[in-house]
Amino acid sequence: MMFDVAIAGGGPVGLVAALEMQARGLSVVVLERRTGALDKACGEGLMPSGRSALERLGVMRWLTPGDCAGFSAIRFVQEDGRGVEAQLTAPGGLGVRRTALRGALASEAHARKIEVREGCAVRTHTVGADAVTLTTDAGDVSARFVVAADGLHSPMRRALGLERAAHGARRFGLRRHFGLPPWAPRVEVHLSAGVEAYVTPSGVNRVGVAFLWEDGDIPEPPDFDRLLSRFPVLMERLNGASEDTPVLGAGPMHQGVRARTAHRAALVGDAAGYVDAITGEGLSMGFKQARVLAEVLPDALAAGASVASLVRYESESAKAFRRYARLANAMLWTAQRPRLRRFMVNRLIDAPWLAGMALRWAMTSGD
C-alpha cells in the first residue's frame, strides 16, 4: 500500500501530525521504534496553545484527572523563596504525564483508524521520483512524503542530511515525580546558581520535578537528590512525599539543523532543532509545526513535494524557531548570572504589573 505520509516517530508531536494530516484527507502511517508506554524526561507542561491543540483535536476526552492538571500561572522562585508570578492566557496550561499524553493521542489516532506501528524502527530510506521507500524492522513502507518526528537526537534528520553541528553550552536534565497533591495551580521555576528546578502539577496526586543544568556548572556528578538539596524551599514542599516514578535523564539539549525540509521530507518537533527546555515551549511549538505542515502538504504533494512547494512550512518554522531561540538564549544568559538574575527578579517583584506583562510575553511567545 502506498501512503500519502509516513511519520517516523510516534511520540506526541508525531501523533499530532498524523491527526492533523488525516483531518485534511491524507492517508497516514506512524512508525515508532519503541513499544508499550513511551516515557521521556521532560517538564510535561503544555503552554496554552498546546492545550488548545489537544482540545481542538478531541484528545482531552482520553485524559483523566489522575494524569493531568490545569495550571493558570508561571512563578519564578528565588533562593530565599521570594518570587514573581504571571497569569497565562486562556485556557491556561496543562501539566500532563508524558505516558498519558502519548496514550491519549494514540487512542484518538486509533479511533480515527490511523495506523500506528510500534516496534517498527526506520533503518534506511530511498527517495524516488514519486515516493519514499522506508526500510523498517517490519518490512518496507512506501509513502509520497516522510515526516521526521523522531526526537531530539533524530536519526532521520541525520539520514536526510539536514543536521548541523550544535555549538555552545551542553545542557542536561533529570526528571522524577512525587506522589502528593499540587500545592498551587501553577508551574514553578526555582532558580539557583548553575541549575534550575521546574515543578509541574501532572495529576490530582502527582507533581513532576525536573532539573536543568549546563555541563561543568555543578562540581559533583549529577544526582537527583544532590540537585534537590540545592533548593531548600522546594525540599520543604516535598518533605515526606513518596517518589512516584524513577529518575529519567535527557540531553544534550541543543540540536542544530541547516533546514527543516528536503525533497519529499520535513522535520517537526525536537527533530526540527532545539535550544533548551527553559521556555517550556517544546511540545506547543511542535504541535504548531504539525498543523502548518498539514495545511501545506495537500498542495505540496500535488506539486511533487519539492522543497519549493514546502517554502511556507520552512519559513514559518524558521521564524518561530528564531523567536524561541532568542528567548531561550536570553533566559539562559540571565539564569547563568545569579547576581544579575536576582536583581532583575527582585525589580519585577517590586513592579507586579511589569512582571505580569514580561512573563506573559515570555511564556506565550510561541503561541
Distance (Å) of CA 265 to CA 21, 140, 148, 305: 14, 17, 8, 8
Quote the CA–CA distance of 356 and 354 in Å, as a whole number: 5
Quote the CA–CA distance of 85 and 161 in Å, as a whole number: 42
When pLDDT is cut at 50, 70 and 90, the band that residue 358 belongs to is low
When pLDDT is cut at 50, 70 and 90, the band that residue 365 belongs to is very low
Q: How many CA atoms lie within 13 A of 102 on its CB side?
A: 20
Helix-, strand-, coil-residue percentages of the chain, each rounded to 5: 35, 30, 35
What is the model's pTM?
A: 0.93
When pLDDT is cut at 50, 70 and 90, the band that residue 367 belongs to is very low
Q: Which three cell numbers stand for residue 57?
A: 483535536
Residue 190 has pLDDT above 90, yes or no: yes
Quote the CA–CA distance of 95 and 172 in Å, as a whole number: 21
Please state the separation of Cα 111 from the chain's center in Å: 24
Closest alpha carbon to 41 in 259, 282, 299 = 282
Please give the helix or strand (H or E) that residue 51 lies within, else none: helix 48-56
Q: Which domains does the chain have, with CATH numbers?
A: 2-42+98-167+254-333 (3.50.50.60)
The answer to whether the beta carbons of residues 279 and 49 sit under 8 Å apart is no
**pLDDT given for residue 182 in this prediction:** 97
The answer to whether the beta carbons of residues 43 and 210 sit under 8 Å apart is yes
Q: Which three cell numbers stand for residue 265?
A: 521530507
pLDDT tens profile 78-97: 888 888 888 888 899 999 99
First to last CA, the chain: 37
β-pair partners for 76 = 84, 189
Pick the residue with more confidence: 365 or 54? 54
Residue 63 has pLDDT above 80, yes or no: yes
